[in-house]
């Protein structure tokens, strides 16, 4: 495969940096429009082809959003690129698979444990009721029923950190959750007992939060992540035995 000439690569990166700098200097926010292509070329002193290549790169990173027929806008600045990268790494080889999942579990639990006191303090009665409702949905649908259980689980953890009002923590928490759910099916051994324990742990999290019991909240978090830690450990052992 032929490589890109260094000069061309440098020019493209300069235009990428120029667009990012323009967004910052103009104090544009997500959803704000960028100038039309001719005006952007003039502002950056770059050719149309260079600007188009740079926009493609920034679009992939969700820094800009191309709306065909309407123009280019500042993107949502989500963590989609991080999700794609971690997912690919997790699927690339079994060894990476197990390590990525172990790391993701650690990070997810770290967020929730590290903010336990604030989460318990800030959750409103309405949010606690909503969490109870999501646990009920998990109980009614069951893991074997498809997306109902998974969607309720995701919504549960999104709502759990929502009271913090920290958009970055919310995005990171959901990004790590999304990567895990893509990679996790490569683990075996999720039993009915695990499902029961997972639902019970979610309920214990809500009950502890409602009671203002921070120690109980943290214990319930540990119970929640215990089944998946066991599955990762068993998968590693099986893989080691095959080798």
The whole-number average pLDDT for the span 99-105 is 78
The whole-number average pLDDT for the span 114-134 is 96
Q: Does the pLDDT value for residue 3 go beyond 50?
A: no
Residue 86 banded pLDDT, cuts 50, 70, 90:
low
Domains of the chain: residue spans and CATH: 6-74 (1.10.10.10), 80-242 (1.20.120.530)
Q: Which of 82-91, 121-130, 137-146, 193-202 has the lowest mean pLDDT?
A: 82-91
Of 162-166, 184-188, 225-229, the range with the highest mean pLDDT is: 162-166
Instruction: Return phi, psi of residue 153, to 5°.
Output: -60, -45
Give the pTM: 0.65
Rounded CA-CA distance 231/188 in Å is 7
Rounded CA-CA distance 101/186 in Å is 10
- pLDDT value of position 177: 80
> Long-range contacts of range 199-208, CB-CB < 8 Å, 24 or more positions apart?
199/135, 199/138, 199/139, 201/226, 202/131, 202/134, 202/135, 202/138, 202/153, 202/156, 203/132, 203/135, 205/131, 205/160, 206/128, 206/131, 206/132, 206/135, 208/120
- pLDDT value of position 127: 97
Q: Does the pLDDT value for residue 126 go beyond 90?
A: yes
């Amino acid at each position: 495969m032929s490589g890109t000439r260094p000069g061309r690569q440098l020019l493209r990166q300069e235009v990428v940096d120029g667009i990012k700098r323009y967004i910052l200097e103009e104090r544009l926010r997500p959803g704000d429009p960028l100038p039309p292509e001719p005006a952007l070329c003039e502002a950056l002193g770059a050719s149309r082809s260079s600007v188009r290549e740079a926009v493609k790169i920034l679009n992939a990173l969700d820094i800009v959003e191309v709306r065909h027929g309407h123009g280019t806008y500042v993107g949502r600045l989500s963590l989609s690129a991080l999700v794609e990268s971690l997912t690919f790494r997790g699927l690339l080889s079994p060894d990476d698979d197990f390590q990525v999942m172990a790391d993701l579990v650690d990070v997810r639990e770290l967020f929730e444990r590290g903010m336990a006191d604030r989460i318990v303090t800030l959750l409103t009665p309405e949010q606690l009721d909503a969490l109870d409702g999501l646990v009920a949905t998990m109980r009614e649908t069951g893991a074997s029923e498809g997306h109902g259980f998974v969607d309720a689980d995701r919504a549960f953890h999104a709502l759990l950190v929502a009271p913090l009002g920290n958009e970055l923590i919310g995005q990171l928490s959901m990004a790590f959750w999304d990567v895990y759910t893509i990679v996790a099916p490569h683990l075996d051994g999720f039993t009915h007992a695990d499902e029961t324990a997972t639902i019970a742990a979610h309920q214990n999290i809500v009950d502890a939060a409602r009671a203002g019991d921070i120690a109980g909240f943290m214990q319930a978090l540990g119970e929640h992540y215990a089944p998946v830690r066991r599955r990762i450990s068993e998968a590693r052992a099986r893989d080691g035995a095959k080798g």
